[in-house]
C-alpha cells in the first residue's frame, strides 16, 4: 500500500515536471467547469433577483423547488440528460452524447439550482433600499441591477464559489455524459474513478491533491475579488 | 418513555453485536464481467451448501482485484488476465492458482458492418480492416483484462492504435458497449457482457472464433505467508471445489440467455 506521503510527492513531481497527460486532464476539468459556471451564473443571478425582488404567484413554491433541486444526485442529472441525448432519445439528432458540450450541460444543471438558492438567500437578506435608491436616482433597471449585485458581492461570489466547487469535483454526470474519453472528456474526477478502478491509488490521490490545490488557488483569487469588490462589474 | 427508549437502544446494540459476531466469510475479489455473467450466482450457493462457507464477492476491475489481493484486503481472487495472474503468483502474493474455465472475446459493431469484418477469419485481419476505414473503435482504456487483450491484438496486427478514431473510454464493459452503440463504433467485448447487453444495443456480433480471442479464467488464493490474517483454509477449499467435477459440470451446463458461455478446463 502506497503511503499518502509518497502519493503527495508523486503528485508534486508530476505537476512540476509538467506531465502532459496530467495537465491535459486538469485543462479539460477547468475548461468544462468554467464554461458551465459562466453560462449558468448570469441566468441564475437574474432568477435569484426575480425570486427575491419581484412578487408573483408561485414564488415561494419556486424557491422551494430550487432548494429541493440542491439534493438531486449528480448521477440522476446525468441519467436524465443521457436519456435525452441518446441516439434513441428526443435530442439524439444533436449527437452530443460523449462530448464536452454534454458534460457542460450536466454541470450547468447541477450548479444552477445551487447558484439560484444561494444568490436568492443573499439578495433576500439584502437592503432593498440599494435597488430603490438607484432607481430613484435615475439609473436604468440594468444599472440598478448591477449596483445591487455589487452591493451583495460577498454572498454572490460565495454562491459562485460553492457552485464551482460542486461541479469541478463531480463525477457522476461527467462520467455518464462525457464517457471519460482520454484527451477529450476525461476530467479530474473521472480520472480518479478510473485510477481507483485500476488499483493505482497513488495516481488517484495525486489527482485529488491537484484538485484541492487548484480549488484553493481559485478560492484565494475569488476571495481577493470579493475583498476589492470588482467581480461583477 | 425514556425507559422504553433505553430498552430499544439496548436491543439495537445487542442486535448489532450479534451480527458482528457472525463467522468471518470468505472474501473474493473478481471482475465485474465475471459477476455480470451470473455464473457466480450459480456456483457460490452450491459451494456454500456443500461447505457452509459464505463467499462475499467484491466485483471491481482486474487491476483493482489483484491489488486488493496484494494488499490482503481479500482472501481469494478470480480474474482473467493470464500474464498479470502469473506475475501476481511469481511476486509471492498468491498461491494455488488454477485455470478452471475459459470463454471468448468477440468483436461487435454497427449492424451494417461498414468495415466488413464479418467474413474475416483472423481477428488481426478484422482489426486491420477497421483501421483502414474512417470508423471509430472504443477501447476500454482502463488496464482491465479485456483492455490488455485488446492491446495485445492490435500489437499482433502490427497496428499502433491512436488518433481521434480510437476512443479510450476508461470505463467498464457495459458502459463501453453503450458508448460504441451510441457512436456507431466497433469494440472488443467478452461474450458474457455482450449477451447480457445485446438486447439494449444497436449492434451486432461480427467476428469471433479466432483462437487468439480465448479468455481463460484463473482463481488464486492470497498467500497466507504474506498476510497472516487471510482466510487461507476456506480459500483453498473454494479453489479445490471449483476444480472438482461437480463445479466443472455446473460451469459446462450454465446458460446465459439460452446460450452456453463458459467451457470448463478441468472436466474429465
ipTM of this predicted structure: 0.72
- Could you say which architecture CATH assigns to the domain A4-120+164-211? Orthogonal Bundle (1.10)
**What is the rounded CA–CA span in Å between residue B126 and residue B132?**
10
> A203 CB near a chain B CB, below 8 Å?
no
User: Over the stretch B66-122, which tens digit does the pLDDT of each residue have?
Assistant: 988 998 889 999 998 888 999 999 999 999 999 999 999 999 999 999 999 998 999
| Statement: residue A231 has pLDDT above 50 | no
**pLDDT given at position A38:** 96
pTM of the model: 0.78
Pairing of strands B137-139, B94-110: unpaired
> A175 CB near a chain B CB, below 8 Å?
yes
**pLDDT given at position A20:** 84
User: Over the stretch B121-162, which tens digit does the pLDDT of each residue have?
Assistant: 999 999 999 999 899 999 999 888 889 899 999 999 999 999
**pLDDT given at position A6:** 76
Pairing of strands B94-110, B214-222: antiparallel
Contact (CB, 8 A) for B127 and B227: no
Contacts of A201 in chain B (CB under 8 A): 67
Provide DSSP, A123-156.
Answer: HHTS-HHHHHHHHHTT--HHHHHHHHHHHTHHHH
Q: Strand runs (DSSP E) across chain B, as ranges?
A: 26-31, 55-60, 76-79, 94-110, 137-139, 166-168, 186-190, 203-207, 214-222, 255-256, 259-260, 263-264
Higher per-residue pLDDT: B5 or A25: A25
CA of B167: which chain A residue's CA is closest? A181
What is the mean predicted confidence (pLDDT) over B34-60? 90
Higher per-residue pLDDT: A75 or B257: A75
**What is the rounded CA–CA span in Å between residue A187 and residue A73?**
19
CATH number of B26-102+214-264: 3.40.190.10
Backbone angles phi, psi at B26, to 5 degrees: -85, 130
**What is the rounded CA–CA span in Å between residue B27 and residue B55?**
6
Domain boundaries, chain A: 4-120+164-211
**What is the rounded CA–CA span in Å between residue A30 and residue B83?**
38
Residues of chain B with CATH 3.40.190.10: 26-102+214-264, 104-213
Residue of B169, B172, B184, B185 for testing the chain A interface, max A β-carbons within 10 Å:
B169
Pairing of strands B166-168, B137-139: parallel
Distance of CA B89 to CAs B71, B150, B216, B242, Å? 14, 23, 16, 19
Helices (H), B216-258: 232-242, 245-253
**pLDDT given at position A232:** 46
User: Over the stretch A56-105, which tens digit does the pLDDT of each residue have?
Assistant: 999 999 999 999 999 999 999 999 999 999 888 899 888 898 999 999 99
CA of A191: which chain B residue's CA is closest? B170
If contacts are CB pairs under 8 Å, which of residues 35-64 in chain B contact chain A? Answer: 60-61, 63-64
**pLDDT given at position B23:** 60
- The three cell numbers of residue A140 are 436604468
Contact A180 B202 (CB under 8 A): no
- Could you say which architecture CATH assigns to the domain B104-213? 3-Layer(aba) Sandwich (3.40)
Amino acid at each position: 500500500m502506497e503511503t499518502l506521503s509518497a502519493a503527495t510527492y508523486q503528485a508534486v513531481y508530476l505537476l512540476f515536471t509538467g506531465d502532459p497527460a496530467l495537465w491535459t486532464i486538469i485543462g479539460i476539468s477547468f475548461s468544462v467547469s468554467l464554461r458551465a459556471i459562466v453560462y449558468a451564473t448570469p441566468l441564475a443571478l437574474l432568477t435569484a433577483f426575480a425570486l427575491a425582488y419581484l412578487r408573483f404567484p408561485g414564488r415561494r413554491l419556486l424557491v422551494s423547488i430550487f432548494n429541493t433541486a440542491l439534493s438531486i444526485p449528480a448521477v440522476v442529472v446525468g441519467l436524465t440528460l443521457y436519456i435525452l441525448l441518446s441516439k434513441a432519445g428526443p435530442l439524439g439528432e444533436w449527437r452530443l452524447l460523449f462530448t464536452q458540450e454534454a458534460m457542460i450541460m450536466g454541470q450547468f444543471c447541477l450548479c444552477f439550482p445551487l447558484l439560484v438558492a444561494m444568490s436568492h438567500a443573499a439578495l433576500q437578506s439584502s437592503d432593498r433600499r440599494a435597488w430603490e435608491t438607484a432607481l430613484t436616482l435615475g439609473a436604468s433597471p440594468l444599472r440598478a441591477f448591477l449596483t445591487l449585485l455589487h452591493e451583495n458581492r460577498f454572498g454572490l461570489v460565495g454562491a459562485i464559489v460553492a457552485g464551482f466547487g460542486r461541479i469541478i469535483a463531480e463525477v457522476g454526470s461527467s462520467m455518464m455524459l462525457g464517457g471519460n474519453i482520454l484527451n477529450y472528456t476525461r476530467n479530474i474526477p473521472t480520472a480518479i474513478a478510473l485510477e481507483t478502478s485500476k488499483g493505482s491509488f497513488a495516481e488517484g490521490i495525486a489527482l485529488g491533491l491537484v484538485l484541492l490545490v487548484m480549488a484553493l488557488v481559485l478560492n484565494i483569487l475569488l476571495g481577493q475579488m470579493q475583498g476589492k469588490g470588482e467581480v461583477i462589474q | 418513555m425514556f425507559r422504553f427508549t433505553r430498552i430499544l437502544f439496548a436491543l439495537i446494540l445487542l442486535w448489532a453485536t450479534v451480527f458482528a459476531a457472525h463467522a468471518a466469510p470468505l472474501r473474493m475479489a473478481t471482475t465485474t464481467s465475471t459477476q455480470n455473467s451470473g455464473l457466480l450466482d450459480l456456483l457460490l450457493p452450491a459451494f456454500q451448501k456443500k461447505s457452509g462457507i459464505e463467499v462475499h464477492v467484491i466485483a471491481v476491475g482486474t487491476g483493482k482485484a489483484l491489488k486488493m489481493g496484494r494488499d490482503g484486503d481479500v482472501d481469494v481472487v478470480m480474474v482473467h488476465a493470464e500474464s498479470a495472474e502469473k506475475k501476481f503468483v511469481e511476486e509471492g502474493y498468491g498461491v494455488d492458482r488454477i485455470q478452471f474455465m475459459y470463454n471468448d472475446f468477440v468483436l461487435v459493431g454497427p449492424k451494417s458492418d461498414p468495415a466488413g469484418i464479418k467474413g474475416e477469419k483472423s481477428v488481426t485481419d478484422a482489426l486491420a480492416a477497421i483501421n483502414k476505414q474512417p470508423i471509430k473503435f472504443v477501447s476500454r482504456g482502463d488496464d482491465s483484462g479485456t483492455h490488455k487483450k485488446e492491446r495485445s491484438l492490435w500489437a499482433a496486427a502490427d497496428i499502433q492504435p491512436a488518433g481521434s478514431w480510437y476512443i479510450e473510454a476508461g470505463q467498464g464493459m457495459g458502459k463501453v458497449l453503450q458508448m460504441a452503440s451510441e457512436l456507431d463504433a466497433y469494440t472488443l467485448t467478452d461474450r458474457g457482457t455482450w449477451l447480457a447487453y445485446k438486447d439494449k444495443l444497436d449492434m451486432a456480433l461480427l467476428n469471433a472464433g479466432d483462437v487468439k480471442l480465448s479468455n481463460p479464467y484463473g482463481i488464486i488464493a492470497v498467500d497466507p505467508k504474506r498476510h497472516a490474517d487471510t482466510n487461507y483454509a476456506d480459500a483453498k477449499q473454494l479453489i479445490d471445489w471449483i476444480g472438482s467435477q461437480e463445479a466443472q459440470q455446473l460451469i459446462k451446463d450454465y446458460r446465459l440467455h439460452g446460450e452456453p458461455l463458459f467451457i470448463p478446463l478441468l472436466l474429465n
